[in-house]
Structure 1
Amino acid sequence: MRQSFFDEGYLNCQYTQIEALEKDSSPYFIVEIITLYFRDSPNVIAALEHELMKAAVRDIKKEHSELRAKFETYFQLMRRAGPTEQAVNSS
């Protein structure tokens, strides 16, 4: 199972360095570190999710504002042209 973690890219050479520390300090050092990671990571993920949602909403608001300004300019040009002009698809 340990090898599969390496094969799948979940572990790398840093893990083997931590294993070396484990032998010198505590027999369950890695267990403690990984347990702390899984205990703390949901809070970090939630914070990232919150920040990314704020960023996404900010981008949507910006795009909405820009599109609205473009349409307002377009409608002003339509009014200046008057009702006799026909809209032409320029694409």
Structure 2
Amino acid sequence: MTEFTVASTEFQNRAGVYIERAAKDPVFITKHSRPVRVLLDIDEYRKLRRNYREALYASELSDDHLQAILTVELPAEAEALNHEMTEPKIK
């Protein structure tokens, strides 16, 4: 994937050209030589959103989410990972 950069004024003047360009590669739009926006093909954007994960602190979880975590049924294969939870013994 090739990066393509355009100044915001140029983008405003020829938006149609850059919308077409974004079908192939992301178009980075700059202001004062610094990237401020990225124009992406819709399928690429959807792929990024589908893979998006948000990390939270336990204190940020709702009571319902905490309860779900505490009561979840783990698959039998998960038992094989319990050894990862113990501290290694220093010899």
Q: TM-score, normalised by structure 2?
A: 0.27
Return the structure number with greater relative CO, CA threshold 8 A, min gap 6.
2
User: Based on CA coordinates, which of the two structures has the bigger radius of gyration?
Assistant: 1
